[in-house]
Amino acid sequence: MKHLLSAGDLSRDEAVRILDTAEELLGVARRPIKKLPTLRGRTIVNLFFEDSTRTRISFEAAAKRLSADVINFSAKGSSVSKGESLKDTALTLQAMGADAVVIRHSASGAPHRLAHSQWTRGAVVNAGDGTHEHPTQALLDAFTARKHLGGDLAGRNITIVGDVLHSRVARSNALLLNTLGANVTLVAPPTLLPVGVDAWPVQTSYDLDASLEKADAVMMLRVQAERMNAAYFPSAREYSRRYGLDVARMNRLQDHAIVMHPGPMNRGMEISADVADCERSVIVEQVTNGVAVRMAVLYLLVGGQTDDTGPDTSGSTENIHSDNEGAR
């Protein structure tokens, strides 16, 4: 594993390895000294071309707990707003010696471009690209569900509800949960299911009520108002009535079923406040788990021996292994 670009790239073994590693790293948050020396001397750049609070601070906390140096770069107020291209930004970061680049971009495929362009030699972690993927969110969702559902997701029913069309979280979750053996059902109004969803390894439904009883976990997606540039549903109230999770619907869930939400929530829209704050809701825990999962990803990508080939030796994919100790 050199980069983490798509949840679909992970084999079952790789995914389980990340989750098991995260399980151990979760304990770090409970220790008196919440820090490991593992990534000392490594530089991790958070390259955020799109607004994000929780993902960025989660990655920042994860990198700092591993003792890495963190450089935060957000497009607002940077040279990007003066028209700098992704390539030039990446070359600048490379010149500063980034070992890993965590990138969020509004264009689907931007992390892939960065990873395969030779502009940077560091590991690339996709922290959300357009409406494409958000693999670490899927990993933390799987991690949280696994903890509550007996340690294994094989054969479990997970229902993902809401704006699947614009949701990179839904796409990554569908791929990862399928890899882990879970049965995924996507529930959304017909206008909010993407074209070609029948090729995904999931079932789809337009009816939330029919999907509740068998679900072991229900994941509510945020209605992304900023991407709602067409009339996808008649009104917010109608959406909420048909696809929102309220107490009446929650009471029809199985006793052990959990309620998840990747955040940020629109309380009263896709999830009622009562449900968001109830004991079934693991939404706050998801945030805690997110740090552990991102620590695991960063550790597995840059914690060991890394490829030290320069970006200009194009054509040579052979790794020149040398430890960085000589530099000290």
Interface residues with other proteins (CB under 8 A) are: 17, 20-21, 24-25, 27, 31-33, 35-38, 299-301, 303-306, 323-325
Q: How far apart are CA 70 and CA 313, in angstroms?
A: 27
**Least separation in angstroms between CB 111 and other proteins:** 20
- Residue 76 burial class via C-beta count within 10 angstroms: exposed 0-12, middle 13-18, buried 19 and up: exposed
What 3-state DSSP class applies to 129? strand
**Least separation in angstroms between CB 323 and other proteins:** 5
Residue whose CB is less far from other proteins, 255 or 323: 323
**Least separation in angstroms between CB 40 and other proteins:** 10
- Helix 12-26 and helix 135-148, axial crossing angle in degrees, nearest 10: 70
Residue whose CB is less far from other proteins, 37 or 83: 37
**Least separation in angstroms between CB 48 and other proteins:** 25
Residue whose CB is less far from other proteins, 80 or 300: 300
Residue whose CB is less far from other proteins, 27 or 181: 27
Q: What are phi and psi of 260, to 5 degrees?
A: -125, 155
**Least separation in angstroms between CB 268 and other proteins:** 41
Q: Nearest Cα to 91, choosing from 118, 126, 128?
A: 118
Sheet order of strands, 43-48 included: 69-74, 43-48, 100-105, 123-129
Residue whose CB is less far from other proteins, 33 or 195: 33
Q: Nearest Cα to 52, choosing from 244, 251, 290?
A: 290
Contact status, residue 115 vs residue 90, Cβ threshold 8 Å: no
Q: How far apart are CA 2 and CA 8, in angstroms?
A: 14
Q: What are phi and psi of 212, to 5 degrees?
A: -80, -45
**Least separation in angstroms between CB 312 and other proteins:** 23
Residue whose CB is less far from other proteins, 44 or 283: 44
- Helix 135-148 and helix 54-65, axial crossing angle in degrees, nearest 10: 80
**Least separation in angstroms between CB 324 and other proteins:** 6
**Least separation in angstroms between CB 23 and other proteins:** 9
Residue whose CB is less far from other proteins, 44 or 174: 44
**Least separation in angstroms between CB 24 and other proteins:** 4
Give the position of tokens 């996808």: 232
Q: What are phi and psi of 159, to 5 degrees?
A: -105, 125
Residue whose CB is less far from other proteins, 26 or 47: 26
Sign of the dihedral through C-alpha 238, 137, 17, 145: negative
Residue whose CB is less far from other proteins, 250 or 293: 293
Query: What tokens does 139 get?
Result: 């990993």
